[in-house]
Structure 1
């Protein structure tokens, strides 16, 4: 094996190709609209064979998801200093989800096809180097682990398990926002954070003792 053909170099080359294809697709989506752009158009614009594009991305939704995940990774790096300054889990996760709400509101037309792809794909969450970036799960795991370490969150379940449950709530809030007119996504995310942190049990009201006559 030559120096130019090491696994690390191949992985980096593949990552660059994925990013190039995704950026090309996004330019087309912005210019012509997501629904009308075809995989064939993306291949032509990126100057690759159609088979090459399909080898990397089976569907247009997969291309979109790759780009969205890359944007999330960039945004998470920018938000990290602000997140780390938050005093507790609820404040930190709210910073992340407030930013997500703003992004989703600015790209609303792309959220439905993204969700279709995510809910129909059951890929393993563990990735090799050079694999496409992930969505919010990695950030959720990080913040939940920190919350467990400080004693804010239960630790009888793994952080990855709790992150998956929170992720399902996140998707549920997104779907509710998409189909229900008038909802504010930031408020929907705040509701799932409260539910996740406090649980769904009805708060116990103190019993009022009757005075003896």
Structure 2
């Protein structure tokens, strides 16, 4: 599902993008093989590299916490009223935003084991219609109670995307699990999403674009 940045978000995003492009262009004039890995490696000793890295991370934060994502999430909750939904956020900050806005439990990396189990058991029992998590469910945790997953950020790789898809693809009779991915149109987030869907790991799955 494509969403759009607000005017203020877009202005800030474009400014940060230009800062990153300008830095990379200047570096590649001296070294055509200069890569993003070099930026990360040099950020510890180079102020310019550190500034470029901060600009890149700020871009990701804008993608992650776009205001329109929360409005779209509200629409999806209404569409799937009565279904148990799990929301995957790209950061602790966005997970908290979702938790506070919709008053649903929030699973973060630093949650204790007991708190995590209590939330998951409550979700499975139907006490909570939805939960939101950052990356705490990416490894070794299945959520068969969920029939709808909504990804609003943080799927960096095809492997991670497949893991999240597997959390909800548990058929029950004729019921079918659904996964939505909400991405910012015209940003690197949209490009990453397109690349993941082309990956061989997603052969046999069906994709539909919603406007």
Relative to the length of structure 2, the TM-score reads 0.32
Task: Identify, as 1 or 2, the structure richer in strand.
Answer: 2
Task: Identify, as 1 or 2, the structure richer in helix.
Answer: 1
Higher Rg of the two aligned structures: 1
Relative to the length of structure 1, the TM-score reads 0.32
